[in-house]
Amino acid sequence: MRQIVVFSLGGLRCGLDITRVQEIIRMPELTPAGGTAAAVAGIINLRGQILTVLDLRTVLSLSAAEAGGERKIIIVKDREGFIGFCCDDVHDILTMKERFVESKVPRLKGVDVTYFSGIYKTEDMLILLLDPERVLEEDGGGQ
């Protein structure tokens, strides 16, 4: 069994392995990072460390977030340090039972599912399991 952080993006419920998560913060004001990949929302100074922040809505080909929401940034460990993943909200930490994980992610209208490693089925919801390595490979997320 492993634990995941459950978060939302639009109408999707997504999960991220908790061993990859350093912390979760409220969305501060981002500094624009010109000349970067479209998914780069900007950069932040987190206690003296400059971090790139990726907008997961852009990565997954979802529509832009509505203004005024309480968005969050999940600080994720990568090979070169840390990077921020922008999401709409963080809901819970779940302990997954591996027998309820399917490795084949079905096609979803308007969503690029190549960034997910599987889908976790609970009694009342489906949670898409985000693979941070796939996100970083495609969107050049390193520092």
Q: What is the pLDDT of residues 93-130, one digit of tens each?
A: 999 999 999 999 988 888 889 999 999 999 999 999 99
Radius of gyration (C-alpha) of the chain in whole angstroms:
14
The amino acid present at 90, given as its one-letter code, is: V
> Which residue did the predictor score with more confidence, 37 or 132?
132
Q: Where residue 11 falls among pLDDT bands split at 50, 70, 90?
A: confident
Q: Please tell me the predicted confidence (pLDDT) of residue 21.
A: 97
Q: Where residue 142 falls among pLDDT bands split at 50, 70, 90?
A: very low
**Placement of tokens 């009694």 in the chain:** 123
Q: Is the pLDDT of residue 141 over 70?
A: no
Q: Please tell me the predicted confidence (pLDDT) of residue 36.
A: 77
**Tens of pLDDT, residues 37-86:** 889 999 999 999 999 999 999 999 888 876 667 899 999 998 889 999 99
Q: Is the pLDDT of residue 26 over 90?
A: yes
Q: Are 23 and 75 in contact (CB under 8 A)?
A: yes
Q: Please tell me the predicted confidence (pLDDT) of residue 56.
A: 94
**Placement of tokens 């969503």 in the chain:** 111
Mean pLDDT, rounded, for 28-39 = 87
SS (H, E, C) the chain: CEEEEEEEECCEEEEEEHHHEEEEEECCCCECCCCCCCCEEEEEEECCEEEEEEEHHHHCCCCCCCCCCCCEEEEEEECCEEEEEEECEEEEEEEECHHHEECCCCCECCECHHHEEEEEECCCCEEEEECHHHHHHHHCCCC
Q: Is the pLDDT of residue 143 over 70?
A: no
CATH code, 2-139: 2.40.50.180
Domain spans of the chain, in order of start:
2-139
Q: How many residues does the chain have?
A: 143
> How far apart (Å, rounded) are the C-alpha atoms in residues 58 and 76?
17
